[in-house]
Structure 1
Amino acid sequence: MKTKRFCYSCDLKDDSKLIAEYKEYHAAGNAWPEITKSIKDAGILDMEIYITGNRMFMIMEVDETFDPIKKAKMDVNNPKVQEWENLMWNYQQELPWAKDGEKWITLEQVFKLK
């Protein structure tokens, strides 16, 4: 099976209490099961989020069935995903160059060691 990697970035509100709460929501076993199911159902094989200060980076390994546009449509039509996303907006904020309402911004690869 061929996999592909997607990398994204998003900011949290620069508030230590909110950042701690966000981390708690994402600690092992704390993400809602409906959310992890929706991630896996979209063809995402692995997802990791890293943070420095209030800037986050997400790395996703996906299979050949993954399509970001299809995933976005699936999310819009999933009430539990919408509930989670609305909750997460209490913690997240748009990057300065994001389009209105855009959270996770695709990262451009500028180097790869071969």
Structure 2
Amino acid sequence: MTSKKLYYACDLVDDPELIEEYKNYHSKNNTWPEITKSIKDSGIVDMEIYILANRLFMIMEVDETFTPERKQKMDKENPKVQEWENLMWKFQQALPTANKGEKWLQMSQIFKL
């Protein structure tokens, strides 16, 4: 099985209380099991999210079955994922270059040692 890594960025609303609540939703014991299952079912092998102030950085390791289009389709058809995504909009805000409704934007590599 081959895998590759994808990198995404998103911003949170710049409010310390909301940021703490967002972090709490993403702690190991609070993540909804339906969400982690949907992530794995889409071909995501591993996922990490980092934070600095209100900027989020996500690393996804994906297998050959993963495509962003497939993941988006699966998410739209999953009521629990839709519930989660609607809840997360309370905390997240689109990056300045995002299109309407976009949260996480894929980043491009500009350097590798």
> What CA distance in whole angstroms lies between the structure 2 residues aligned with 1:6 and 1:29?
25
* Gaps in structure 2 of 5+ consecutive residues: none
Q: In percent, how many aligned pairs have the same letter?
A: 67
The one-letter amino acid of 1:67's match is T
> What CA distance in whole angstroms lies between the structure 2 residues aligned with 1:68 and 1:7?
12
> What CA distance in whole angstroms lies between the structure 1 residues aligned with 2:102 and 2:62?
21
Question: What is residue 29 of structure 2 aligned with on the other side?
Answer: 29
The one-letter amino acid of 2:61's match is E
TM-score (norm 2): 0.98
The one-letter amino acid of 2:86's match is N
Question: What is residue 6 of structure 1 aligned with on the other side?
Answer: 6
User: SS at 1:48's partner residue?
Assistant: strand
TM-score (norm 1): 0.98
> What CA distance in whole angstroms lies between the structure 1 residues aligned with 2:62 and 2:108?
17
> What CA distance in whole angstroms lies between the structure 2 residues aligned with 1:36 and 1:104?
17
Question: What is residue 79 of structure 1 aligned with on the other side?
Answer: 79
> What CA distance in whole angstroms lies between the structure 2 residues aligned with 1:29 and 1:69?
29
> What CA distance in whole angstroms lies between the structure 1 residues aligned with 2:71 and 2:101?
17
1:28 deviates by: 1.1
User: Is 1:19 matched up with 2:19?
Assistant: yes
User: SS at 2:61's partner residue?
Assistant: strand
User: Is 1:109 matched up with 2:109?
Assistant: yes
* Gaps in structure 1 of 5+ consecutive residues: none
Aligned length: 113
The one-letter amino acid of 2:13's match is K
Query: Within 5 A, what are the aligned runs for 1:31-50?
Result: 31-50=31-50
Structure 1: 4+ residue segments shifted above 6 A: none
